[in-house]
Structure 1
Amino acid sequence: MDINNLLIWIVCLSCVTTTISAVRNSFHHNRGWIFVSTFIFVVTAVTSYLIPNLGGLVGGCFWVIFILIPNFANRKVNQLVAQQRYHQASKLAQFVSWLHPADGLREKPEMLRALDLGQQGAIAEALAILNRYKTTDTPTGRLAIVTLYQIDARWEEMLVWIQENLSEARLQKDSEMLLYYLRSLGETGDLNSLLHAWEYYERSIEQIPNLITRNLARMFVLAFCGQIEQVKTLINGSLRIYSPTIQVFWLATANLAAGNELLGREQLLSIRNSNDIRYHGPIERRLSQPVVEAETILTDKSKQILSRIAAELLQEAKYSGKADLTQPKPNATYFIIGLNLFAFALEIQFGGSTNFLTLYRLGALVPTEVLKGDWWRLFTAAFLHFGFLHLLMNMFGLYVFGRLVEFNLGIARYLILYLTTGLGSMLAVTFMSVMGYSKTEFVVGASGCVMGLVGAFAAILFYDWLRHKTRIASKSLRGILSLIMLQAIFDLTTPQISFVGHTSGVIIGFVVGFLLKVIGK
């Protein structure tokens, strides 16, 4: 496996998934991403055919410049907006618009400049910019409209505008407008309609790729319904990137809805002089209007929906490995990564990580040697790696899936699983080689263990789905199965990779993971 071949896979897979996602969300408003992804895919394919050794490198360069950097930069822009750092967000958005001037990103810097001007006290100039861009035809225009409504806390007017101008199909694809729709229902006090709207659009919310956006929608519902502890969990978890003003505002909202009027008003008064013009009107409205306790108006059906939201919030945190700041660190995963890094340092010290003789001496798996009595190679081979790229890929997979499995199984069962999948996959490679079903004669790497973790996580999801039948478990399980299928295709098309080791790791991981999950309960 070389970096050129790996880049071809990464670029092509990224372009295909980006195009599919863009088409599903909105072809009309994502034409830029569709064009860029298609162009890079074609360039990579043609270059790989004409100059095989450069296809991945050429496609990778285009991919980094026109897909990876704009995506990361845009994510940073959203983070800066959440922190009310509009000036920096506007500057970075300007940079993004140069690399990707389509899909509304060209207008975004001006929208952020308006918020920056409002923050500095130039309200009239900020409103002039927002009024200039408002239109129902583009995402930027719609955002300008709802921002104008939000500044003056004209929630009833916003709700009417959304209902009259945005169809259900549009709301299903426009996550930003869907969030404003949910919020406007809550701000106008129509909590039962808010919860019924959540239930109706729940599948659309689940499909939002950004966890922060999904949890922001949840926070709106939970805060308006007075669920203080769940709001605190979100703020201490994925929503901790938001500024203190926004965090206090939603905690105050939850307290008011829960009947804690004195505390809620004190919290609102503490942020009354915030420099975010979007919250001036909403804060004053909260302080001036009478408090309505959620418990007094929610129907039994609404309470059931609310309970399910809270339960699914815990489930998603469980499957993402991101519960809150009090969640224990994945120390066992860090320890295993440390052992792999130590073994790699030994490889370099004793002759190099791509030196077959060095790897052999340190314990690479050689099936014939295992049969002669070198059983310890079944264990040591799982900590050795052929080159830095091999190490980097496996450690990334270990970090991602190790945390998830450790969080769900606990340290003891997690270590049992890791060692079992490592030894089991190496035994499978040895058996298949000795029996003549495989030509593998030399194996190193933690790939079998990592794929075992993938299989174990699939088992955890399957076990929870059998017990609770939650949509989140089902959705996550489908994602894991897709990943396993892609990995199998990659293994079959890359001769240097042990298909037997990976496949056996997944199978052993699933079986052992399922048993450990059952025993643990």
Structure 2
Amino acid sequence: MDLQTFLGVSAGSLSAVIIAQTFVTGAYRFPGSLRYLLAHAVVIAIAVAGFWLLPDYYGFLAAIALIAILVPGPLMNRANRELLAGHNERAAWFARAAALLHPTGQIRFTAKLFGALAEPTREARIAALERLRSGTMAGQDVVLELQVLRQKHDWQGIVDYLKRHPVPPGPDAIVFPIRALGETGQLEAMVATGARNRALFGSGDLSTLVLLAFSGRVTATDALVAARHDMPAWIKAFWQATALQAAGRGELAEPLLRGFAAATLAPAQREMLTARLDRPAQQAEGRLSLEAVAFLDTLETHVQRNVPLQRAGWRTAPLTYLLVLANCAMFGVEMLLGDSTSTENLFRLGGLWPNSVIADHEWWRLISAMFLHAGPEHLISNMLGLFLLGRMLENAIGSLRFGVIYLAGGLISMGGVFALMQAGIVEPDLLVGASGAIFALIGAIALRRLADFLATRHIADRQSLSLIAIVLVIQATIDLSLPQISFSAHGIGFVAGIALAWLLGLARASRR
């Protein structure tokens, strides 16, 4: 696959996945999402039409168009993470950077909002928020009013205000009614609000943390804050103490809060901790209906299963990093000994060729071929998939089971394609690459998600399954359209991953 094809296929496929996911997950909002979806449709149009009209440049054009659309997203995600972690000044900086690159009305408003929240004192924050009221669009005035009431700690005011105004869509806004109802002790209404908006709750967002903490779910709260490496210790202590108070274990919460309140903190941070000491969270036990408890049980189970799927560093996913390094090292050897796209060079280093396996009994090629790649584009696409999927899965199931799925899945994929070549179903060709092993990882993740969904029927698991299905359909279309890509290797690897995950107990473990 040449560079233009690689860029064009990658950019067009990613835009297609984003469009499909928007509709499948119900994230579409008219007219707010229209321009975003049309922009991704333009990327696909450039990738398709450019293939015929501008074959020497279409990949670059599609990639540049996609980057222009996507760059503000990671910046705004980082801004939200910094705000959640209590780093308001950093949040404002990332939001302003996103507004410079993508100056839409909503992003400009968010940058100004984060800037107001970065003011050092509560009075200054309230004054800055009040100044933003002029020129707000529909929905923005609601967010401003909620933020002003939050700064005033007027939780009942938020409850009363939301009775007259609808909550703006999105997981960031739903935290307002959840927190306000929890602070005022209206726990049944809080859980009912969560149940009505269950599609917005996941395993790492603030609304999930707040809901479970005020419901006295100590174990799940501890798991959530432990997964947030960017969250300051005093905020973790605040929500852990909230959960302990709601669980009727206030004697454990008080020393935790007093210890951090006595530490060197900003006045606003110390005020938040002392407020929890003065106004403890109300005990949840015995105050919730059976329906509310059932919803919380489902949400807690979902959290316990999916918190390990948060991003992991090398210490919790060492094998993934070793495999990436091994593949890159072999690619370096390819370059030292000749052209990485040379069939002769790849064969000499261990590429899978049917006649060599049968006639010369070189069965080791079934494994060595997994660590070779035909060109930088082939290597980059496979290593990106391994890096993103591998860390997540290895952290969730452990290095041993992860290694078995990756290596055995890749071996089965290579062996399956080899068998198809021998049977005359697939044309004989030199086979290299880690894509079969990577698709085995996708199969394992799909089985885990399916088991989660069957156990809890949680909407987030259904959305994950939908996304996996979309990716597979698009990948199959690409495989069948480009002769350089082995559809057989991908399909066999995916099925092998499902089978291996089943044998290793991922589905059974997921139901415990």
Give the alignment's TM-score, normalised by structure 2.
0.87
- Counterpart of 2:435, as a letter, is S
342-351 or 70-79, larger mean C-alpha shift: 342-351
How much has 1:103 moved relative to structure 2? 4.5
- Counterpart of 1:8, as a letter, is G
Does 2:336 correspond to 1:363?
Answer: no
User: CA 1:42–1:275 in 2, change beyond 3 Å: closer, same or farther?
Assistant: farther
Q: Which residue of 2 aligns with 1:495?
A: 483
The structure that is helix-richer by fraction is 1
How much has 1:90 moved relative to structure 2? 2.6
How much has 1:394 moved relative to structure 2? 1.6
Residue of 387, 395, 419 corresponding to 1:399: 387
Residue of 17, 36, 53 corresponding to 2:56: 53
Q: Which residue of 2 aligns with 1:336?
A: 323
C-alpha contact 2:92 2:114 (8 A) present in aligned 1: yes
Quick one: distance in 2 between partners of 1:460 and 1:283? 39
User: CA 1:510–1:49 in 2, change beyond 3 Å: closer, same or farther?
Assistant: same
How much has 1:274 moved relative to structure 2? 5.4
Q: Which residue of 1 aligns with 2:240?
A: 251
Identical amino acids, percent of aligned pairs: 25
User: CA 1:192–1:31 in 2, change beyond 3 Å: closer, same or farther?
Assistant: same
How much has 1:28 moved relative to structure 2? 2.9
Following superposition of structure 1 onto structure 2, how do residues 301-340 of structure 1 map, counting pairs within 5 Å? 301-318=291-308, 320=309, 329-340=316-327
Give the alignment's TM-score, normalised by structure 1.
0.85
C-alpha contact 1:15 1:38 (8 A) present in aligned 2: yes
- Counterpart of 1:11, as a letter, is A
Q: Which residue of 2 aligns with 1:198?
A: 194
C-alpha contact 1:119 1:275 (8 A) present in aligned 2: no
Residue of 105, 109, 112 corresponding to 2:111: 109
Q: Which residue of 2 aligns with 1:159?
A: 159
How much has 1:134 moved relative to structure 2? 6.4
C-alpha contact 1:364 1:443 (8 A) present in aligned 2: yes
Quick one: distance in 2 between partners of 1:220 and 1:48? 50
486-495 or 455-464, larger mean C-alpha shift: 455-464
- Counterpart of 2:359, as a letter, is K
Quick one: distance in 1 between partners of 2:434 and 2:126? 60
User: CA 1:435–1:17 in 2, change beyond 3 Å: closer, same or farther?
Assistant: closer
- Counterpart of 1:347, as a letter, is E
- Counterpart of 2:27, as a letter, is R
- Counterpart of 1:477, as a letter, is L
How much has 1:380 moved relative to structure 2? 1.4
Quick one: distance in 2 between partners of 1:72 and 1:446? 28
Following superposition of structure 1 onto structure 2, how do residues 139-218 of structure 1 map, counting pairs within 5 Å? 140-166=140-166, 173-205=169-201, 212-213=204-205, 216-218=206-208
C-alpha contact 2:298 2:456 (8 A) present in aligned 1: no
1:248-304 deviation per Cα after TM superposition (whole angstroms, max 9, x unaligned): 332232233233445545555544995475x68765654444663222423344333
- Counterpart of 1:256, as a letter, is Q
150-159 or 463-472, larger mean C-alpha shift: 463-472
C-alpha contact 1:455 1:509 (8 A) present in aligned 2: yes
Quick one: distance in 1 between partners of 2:83 and 2:394? 34
Following superposition of structure 1 onto structure 2, how do residues 408-423 of structure 1 map, counting pairs within 5 Å? 409-423=397-411
Q: Which residue of 1 aligns with 2:340?
A: 353
User: CA 1:372–1:205 in 2, change beyond 3 Å: closer, same or farther?
Assistant: same
C-alpha contact 2:17 2:470 (8 A) present in aligned 1: no
Does 2:224 correspond to 1:234?
Answer: yes
SS of the aligned residue for 2:204 comes to helix
C-alpha contact 1:134 1:142 (8 A) present in aligned 2: no
C-alpha contact 2:183 2:281 (8 A) present in aligned 1: no
Quick one: distance in 1 between partners of 2:465 and 2:491? 17
User: CA 1:406–1:116 in 2, change beyond 3 Å: closer, same or farther?
Assistant: closer
User: CA 1:109–1:495 in 2, change beyond 3 Å: closer, same or farther?
Assistant: same
C-alpha contact 1:84 1:276 (8 A) present in aligned 2: no
Quick one: distance in 2 between partners of 1:91 and 1:520? 45
142-151 or 302-311, larger mean C-alpha shift: 302-311
How much has 1:26 moved relative to structure 2? 1.8
Following superposition of structure 1 onto structure 2, how do residues 457-472 of structure 1 map, counting pairs within 5 Å? 457-463=445-451, 465=453, 471-472=459-460
436-445 or 280-289, larger mean C-alpha shift: 280-289
Q: Which residue of 1 aligns with 2:467?
A: 479
User: CA 1:41–1:259 in 2, change beyond 3 Å: closer, same or farther?
Assistant: same
SS of the aligned residue for 1:175 comes to coil
C-alpha contact 2:382 2:435 (8 A) present in aligned 1: yes
SS of the aligned residue for 2:505 comes to helix
User: CA 1:84–1:4 in 2, change beyond 3 Å: closer, same or farther?
Assistant: same
How much has 1:51 moved relative to structure 2? 0.6
Quick one: distance in 1 between partners of 2:162 and 2:270? 22
- Counterpart of 1:78, as a letter, is N
Q: Which residue of 1 aligns with 2:375?
A: 387
How much has 1:150 moved relative to structure 2? 0.4
User: CA 1:333–1:289 in 2, change beyond 3 Å: closer, same or farther?
Assistant: closer
1:8-34 deviation per Cα after TM superposition (whole angstroms, max 9, x unaligned): 233223334445628834223345424
Q: Which residue of 1 aligns with 2:95?
A: 93
- Counterpart of 2:204, as a letter, is I
- Counterpart of 2:70, as a letter, is L
Report how many residues are paired: 503
1:286-329 deviation per Cα after TM superposition (whole angstroms, max 9, x unaligned): 444466322242334433332222211112225x255x99x972
Q: Which has the higher contact order (CA 8 A, sep 6+)?
A: 2
SS of the aligned residue for 2:282 comes to coil
Quick one: distance in 2 between partners of 1:317 and 1:291? 25
Quick one: distance in 2 between partners of 1:433 and 1:353? 23
How much has 1:193 moved relative to structure 2? 1.6
Quick one: distance in 2 between partners of 1:400 and 1:212? 17
Quick one: distance in 2 between partners of 1:416 and 1:111? 48
Quick one: distance in 2 between partners of 1:275 and 1:85? 12
C-alpha contact 1:30 1:103 (8 A) present in aligned 2: no
Q: Which residue of 2 aligns with 1:509?
A: 497
How much has 1:487 moved relative to structure 2? 1.5
Runs of at least 5 residues in structure 2 that lack an aligned partner in the other structure: none
- Counterpart of 2:337, as a letter, is F
